């Protein structure tokens, strides 16, 4: 086995990176793959609470990097999925505690034992972003259909291109289909036109996502939620399957999105 390392990043904060990492990690683990996710947001850790693993933390990423524990000791196994692990961020340190080469070393040690390493990047384009993308084989950009989020996403795409990380994939999060229909929100097609990268997911606005994080049980486990299916489909696309997009009620868009766009 040799894991693929994927970094989820966005530029702007609050667009849903952590929720996306948690749900993709669970969705990939549900297919039987071995998955480890790393919370890269040192000082502002949150992936642990979204996954409901906050009470199990003993060691964290900085403990590993500074040699206070072995990598295995910092890996928290999920409560239900035995093939899913979390490496939490340190809460009382800052981004200077980790370097890009530290992250490369940690990921290289994980690669032989996993199918996927998912890294939750901190917001911004400074040091935290730099170490989060250093080990990435592929990047996923999460954005919202909103001017500031799209603009920041474009900046980050430019930085990833400059780092020769290839063209990242795009997840549009919190799309409100009703507002799009009233022409009061950028459509998925608008965002894809503006950013010009490959779309791999459109996550509709859904109350169940918040309810799921309240409970520490990612929405992808909620069988009644549309967003659960959306995240499962993104996971399948990451695995190379050609999965049609769910029709969220935005007719005409879907056929265009798949007629030869990269």
Member of 127, 151, 208, 239 binding another protein (CB under 8 A): 151
Select 15 or 150, whichever has its Cβ closest to another protein: 150
Q: Is 55 in the site for another protein (CB under 8 A)?
A: no
Q: Determine the Cα–Cα distance for residues 84 and 91; give it in Å rounded to an integer.
A: 22
Member of 108, 109, 161, 163 binding another protein (CB under 8 A): 161
Q: Is 163 in the site for another protein (CB under 8 A)?
A: no
Member of 185, 219, 238, 248 binding another protein (CB under 8 A): 185
User: What is the DSSP-derived secondary structure letter of residue 117?
Assistant: E
Task: Give the CA-trace dihedral at 105, 111, 114, 116, to 10 degrees.
Answer: 80
* Cβ atoms of residues 170 and 40 within 8 Å: no
For residue 201, list its beta bridge partners: 171
Q: Determine the Cα–Cα distance for residues 126 and 35; give it in Å rounded to an integer.
A: 27
The CB-of-183 to another protein minimum distance in angstroms stands at 4
First CA to last CA distance, the chain: 29
Q: Is 143 in the site for another protein (CB under 8 A)?
A: no
Q: Is 180 in the site for another protein (CB under 8 A)?
A: yes
**Binding region for another protein (CB under 8 A):** 146-147, 150-151, 154-155, 157-158, 161, 167, 180, 182-187, 190, 194, 196-197, 262
């Amino acid at each position: 086995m040799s894991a693929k390392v994927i970094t989820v990043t966005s530029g702007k904060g609050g667009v849903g990176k952590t929720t996306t990492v948690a749900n993709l990690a669970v969705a990939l683990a549900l297919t039987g793959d071995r998955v480890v996710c790393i919370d890269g947001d040192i000082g502002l850790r949150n992936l642990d609470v979204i996954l409901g693993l906050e009470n199990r933390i003993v060691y964290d990423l900085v403990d590993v990097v500074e040699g206070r524990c072995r990598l295995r000791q910092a890996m928290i196994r999920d409560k239900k999925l035995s093939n899913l692990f979390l490496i939490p961020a340190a809460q009382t340190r800052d981004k200077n505690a980790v370097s890009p080469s530290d992250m490369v070393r940690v990921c290289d040690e994980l690669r032989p034992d996993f199918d996927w390493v998912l890294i939750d990047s901190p917001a911004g384009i400074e040091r935290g972003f730099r170490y989060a993308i250093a080990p990435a084989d592929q990047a996923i950009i999460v954005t919202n259909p909103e001017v500031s989020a799209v603009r920041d996403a474009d900046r980050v795409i430019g930085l990833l291109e400059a780092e020769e990380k290839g063209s990242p994939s795009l997840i549009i999060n919190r799309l409100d289909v009703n507002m799009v229909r009233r022409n009061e929100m950028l459509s998925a097609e608008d965002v894809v036109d503006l950013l010009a990268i490959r779309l791999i997911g459109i996550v509709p606005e859904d109350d169940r996502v918040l309810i799921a994080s309240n409970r520490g049980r990612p929405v992808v486990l909620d069988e009644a939620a549309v967003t659960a299916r959306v995240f499962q489909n993104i996971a399948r696309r990451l695995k190379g399957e050609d999965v049609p997009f769910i029709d969220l009620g935005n007719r005409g868009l879907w056929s265009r999105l798949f007629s030869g766009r990269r």
